[in-house]
Amino acid sequence: APAKPARLGLCAACHGETGMAQIPGAPHLAGQKLDYLREALKQYRDGRRNVPLMRAAIGPISDADLDELARWYSAQTPSAPTQGNP
């Protein structure tokens, strides 16, 4: 399993440390496809996905940090009990 990313804390506030969302509106990330997570993060960073909260949270993240976060969440296993909750 990947080492815990240094920047995980801010992400975890909404997506959880293991990628199970903590708040309405935030998606689960646990076990999501790595290529999809990486591309989504780049799109939030660049504004192609125009979500001000995500753009502010990500800031001018490096590709390396971005990759580390994508690998972390992709490597997590979804926990069944909260699956499908709104």
Interaction of residue 49 with a second copy, rule CB under 8 A: yes
Interaction of residue 80 with a second copy, rule CB under 8 A: yes
Question: Rounded CA gap, 45 and 51, in Å?
Answer: 9
User: How many CB atoms are closer than 10 A to CB 77?
Assistant: 11
Name the segment binding a second copy (CB under 8 A); options: 4-12, 18-26, 52-60, 61-69: 18-26
Interaction of residue 3 with a second copy, rule CB under 8 A: no
CA 48, 64, 5, 56 torsion-angle sign: negative
Choose, by CB under 8 A, the member of 3, 6, 24, 60 that binds a second copy.
24
Which residues contact a second copy by CB under 8 A?
21, 24-28, 30-36, 39-40, 48-50, 74-78, 80, 83-86
